Amino acid sequence: MSTTRPAIPQTARPVSVEGSGEAGGRPRVVIAVDLPEELCRTIEEAEPRVDVIRDHRLYRPRRGPADWAGDPEHVRGPEEQAAYDDMVDSADVLFSLPDVDPSALRRTADANPRLRWVQAMAAGGGSQVKAAGLDAAALKRITVTTTAGVHGRPLAEFALFGVLAGAKTLPQLTAQQREHEWSDRWEMRHLDEMTVLVVGLGGIGAACAALFSAAGAHVLGTTRSGTPVEGVDELIPADELALAAARADAIVVTLPGTAATDGLVGADVLAAAKSGVIVVNVGRGTVIDEPALVDALTSGQVGFAALDVFATEPLPTTSPLWDHPRVLVSPHTAALSSREEERIVRLFVDNLGRFLDGGELRNVVDTVEFY
């Protein structure tokens, strides 16, 4: 059911739907971003126990696939903003933070005591919840889930590309081609002779491990749980990261940004790795100590870095990473896929059934460490 409401001035846990719905009616799922109408109908048809509320006139227009935040130049008029706020404040369940904005989540959490569940659009949605600054009561009442796993394959492909770019000396090849230089031959590295350390074995890390294993690499993976992951030859306790790095020809970072992971891959880990180690980051930029990485690149301890994420985004024009000859800068675009919207809706529909049945939701944000 669409709406044309008038313009007016942590570990998985079960979620209660008691009290959901206006005046005891069916739970209201409010689409808070510009999800294509056919996918809105997919949710509606998959779960007839809810009302799916949306108004495409009120969203920030998208600039491309999965552009959940929409055009930043678009500004709603006062009546449009009031209508949008009224719509999201009627929700039992929100598909996305309103406008993908943590401050808007805080506002609607305060305004709407019925809100029980928010589906974030990011795999690392925990950082958005932390930025919202919800109080303890709101964190207890509202479950937030992420899209962890949705972006695994695209990011794993970028990680594979990044390691291959370093192993096959892409910077030297492109430089010589630019200069029309035909040099003597040199030896390149081969994946089936390399050890790849995957830092973090969540959905993205597991997808990376599968690809590197299929390519013949020996795969190490850091873990806190100790649960076996397909494609990982050796599980490494998370507190033995530097020891594992000493065996690594390539380090692939997939971790979310939390207080516990901030600067985790720092000078000590990079120094412990094999000389010329390849570094790839498809997790969060804050996990790598960027000044330490620059120093290691300059000394040659790190031979190549392929980075899709950075501590500050957009990457400042003054960052030395832009001009370093052995760095590949990707503007946080490796996960973008025209299939992302469909994958998120499939995940959401699965969780929606769990929500309505009082079951455990997948990908629940930990409200202590916010991952």
Buried b (16+ CB within 10 A) or exposed e, 109-147: beebebbbbbbbbbbbbbbbbbebebeeebbebbbbbbb
Task: Report whether pLDDT(161) > 90.
Answer: yes
pLDDT confidence of 369, banded at 50, 70, 90?
confident
Burial class of residue 155 in the structure, from the number of CB atoms within 10 Å of its CB (0-12 exposed, 13-18 middle, 19+ buried):
buried
Per-residue confidence (pLDDT) for residue 20, from 0 to 100: 55
Respond yes or no: is residue 151 known to be catalytic: no
Read off the tokens for 294. Answer: 């620059």
Task: Report whether pLDDT(236) > 50.
Answer: yes
- What is the average pLDDT across 147-159? 94
Global pTM reads 0.85
Respond yes or no: is residue 332 known to be catalytic: yes
pLDDT confidence of 8, banded at 50, 70, 90?
very low
Distant-in-sequence, close-in-space partners of 131: CB < 8 Å, separation ≥ 6: 102, 103
Read off the tokens for 135. Answer: 């109080």
Count of CA atoms in the C-beta half-sphere (13 A) of 185: 2
Q: Which of 26, 332, 346, 362 is catalytic?
A: 332
Ranges 6-20, 128-142, 204-218, 335-349: which has the least confidence: 6-20
| Residue 61: count of CB within 10 angstroms of its CB | 11
Q: Which of 28, 284, 324, 326 is catalytic?
A: 284
- What is the average pLDDT across 156-180? 98
Give the percent of the chain with pLDDT over 70.
Answer: 94
Read off the tokens for 231. Answer: 């494609």
Ranges 13-17, 188-192, 202-206, 353-357: which has the least confidence: 13-17
The span from the CA of 261 to the CA of 264, in Å, is: 5
Task: Report whether pLDDT(22) > 60.
Answer: no
For 250-267, write each residue's pLDDT tens digit: 999 999 888 899 999 999
Per-residue confidence (pLDDT) for residue 18, from 0 to 100: 52
In angstroms, the first-to-last Cα distance of the chain is: 33
Q: Please give the residue that has the higher pLDDT: either 23 or 225.
A: 225
For 63-115, write each residue's pLDDT tens digit: 998 999 999 999 999 999 999 999 999 999 999 999 999 999 999 999 999 99
pLDDT confidence of 25, banded at 50, 70, 90?
confident
Mean pLDDT for all residues in the chain: 93
Q: What is the dihedral of CA 206, 208, 212, 214, to 10 degrees?
A: 60
Task: Report whether pLDDT(223) > 60.
Answer: yes
Angle of CA points 144, 27, 42, to nearest 5°: 80
pLDDT confidence of 226, banded at 50, 70, 90?
very high
Q: Which of 63, 193, 313, 339 is catalytic?
A: 313
